[in-house]
Amino acid sequence: MRFASRSDFGDAASPYGEALAAARTNPGFVDLTVSNPTRCGFDYPVAIATALGDATVLHYSADPRGIHTARTSIAELYAENYGAQVSPENILLTASTSEAYGYLLRLFCEPGDAILVPSPSYPLFDLLARLHDVELIPYPLVYHDGWQIDPASLAAAVTPRTRAIVAIHPNNPTGHFCSPADRDALFATALEHGLPLILDEVFLDYTLESASQPSFASLQPPVLTFVLGGLSKLLALPQMKLAWTVVCGPPSETAIAMERLEIIADTFLSIATPPQVALPKWLVLREAMQSQIQARVSSNLRALDLAIAGTSVSRLKVEGGWAVVLRIPANDDDRAVAIRLLQEEGIAAHPGSLYGFPSRGWLVLSLLTPTEAFRDGVQRLTAAVA
């Protein structure tokens, strides 16, 4: 049987994956990579479940942009929380932000075209680009007492085949928000080359070492801009499979984009009715979840700082999100270090190279791990690698 080359991902097994599977069976295993909030011991309000009991979920009306009441609740969220005036008609609901990325790649890219993505960033982009026959061109994020975009490197990354620029606000795993200088660089490059911006803001509400940050939807962007968000992070509900794209920028381009996206979405109609019906009630509950996560993340950062104090391990500045980047002695390949931590210490940590860091000297941890386990894990990790 002949299969498409885009679906050839090689051997699914990897030394790290095999070591992780073995470590999970051992008592005392600590997962410092967990990113699924439903497995982290948070207290979910019962009202989240009861909101799904509305009789309206038994009725189906196929609207490719999403049920109007759900889109209206998103528009109200952006007005109240971010000061952005967004029309429900310029909001598209999808089952996930991954699906939204897929729609946007179909909207702008022919096979062989390219998009610019920050590095370090999500490993997910590699798979999405491959499945849509699109090339990824990284533009580097640089670290000088905090992460930032290098405007010259961003501009130099543009090629004749570039069709869009992706930015993440705040980025994962670096946890930095786009500064005013970063925003200026993104807008200037996009304007010069006639490119749309895709802004992933799924972690926008989770600020750590900085004040709340503006959504790009509130900035009256001078170029066609797509702002992505979703329940997975906003309400720690990845299982509910609901995300959104806010389309903003020049009105004429926004209208064309929405018309085309509506046809793409109508082809799949992938969003279930129940989460759309429940969305207005769920959004009211977001503070109940976000406050727990913020407290967990802050507590874990304090525990990490205590564990690494006076050692050869350090952490980079993090402004938002759920992850933290560690700088460790560059004595070995980071994948080898991560495997050794699994086999000898029973600790799961991500190698930095998974996110685009150099192959030596970097680890990435989740800050969602329950605090007692996190404290134990980082103490053992530090003793093993420092």
For residues 144 and 256, state if they share a domain: yes
pLDDT tens for 300-350 read: 999 999 999 999 999 999 999 999 999 999 999 999 999 999 999 999 999
Domain boundary residue, one of 259, 283, 307: 283
Q: Which two tokens stand for residue 155?
A: 């501009």
pLDDT tens for 102-116 read: 999 999 999 999 999
For residues 272 and 381, state if they share a domain: no
For residues 238 and 331, state if they share a domain: no
Domain boundary residue, one of 258, 283, 308: 283
Angstrom distance (rounded) from CA 104 to CA 130: 14
Q: Is residue 1 included in any domain, yes or no? A: no
Domain boundary residue, one of 283, 312, 339: 283
pLDDT tens for 27-86 read: 999 999 999 999 999 999 999 999 999 999 899 988 999 999 999 999 999 999 999 999
Domain that holds residue 164: 58-283
For residues 250 and 361, state if they share a domain: no
For residues 225 and 246, state if they share a domain: yes
Angstrom distance (rounded) from CA 165 to CA 163: 7
Angstrom distance (rounded) from CA 150 to CA 173: 18
Q: Is residue 2 included in any domain, yes or no? A: no
For residues 252 and 311, state if they share a domain: no
- With 0-12 / 13-18 / 19 or more C-beta atoms within 10 angstroms meaning exposed / middle / buried, residue 230 is buried
Amino acid (1-letter code) at residue 217 = A
For residues 251 and 319, state if they share a domain: no
Count structural domains, the chain.
2
Cα-based distances in Å from 344 to 327, 328, 336, 337, 385: 20, 17, 12, 10, 12
- With contact defined as beta carbons under 8 Å apart, do 167 and 178 qualify? yes
Q: Is residue 239 included in any domain, yes or no? A: yes
For residues 188 and 107, state if they share a domain: yes
- Torsions phi, psi of 315, nearest 5? -120, 150
Q: Which two tokens stand for residue 260?
A: 């085309």
> Whole-model pTM above 0.95?
yes
Given a cut of 70, is residue 12 above it in pLDDT?
A: no
Q: Is residue 3 included in any domain, yes or no? A: no
For residues 293 and 341, state if they share a domain: yes
CATH number at residue 39: 3.90.1150.10
Strands 362-366 and 323-327: antiparallel
Residues 6+ apart with CB under 8 A from 212: none
Cα–Cα nearest to 176, from 197, 157, 203 = 203
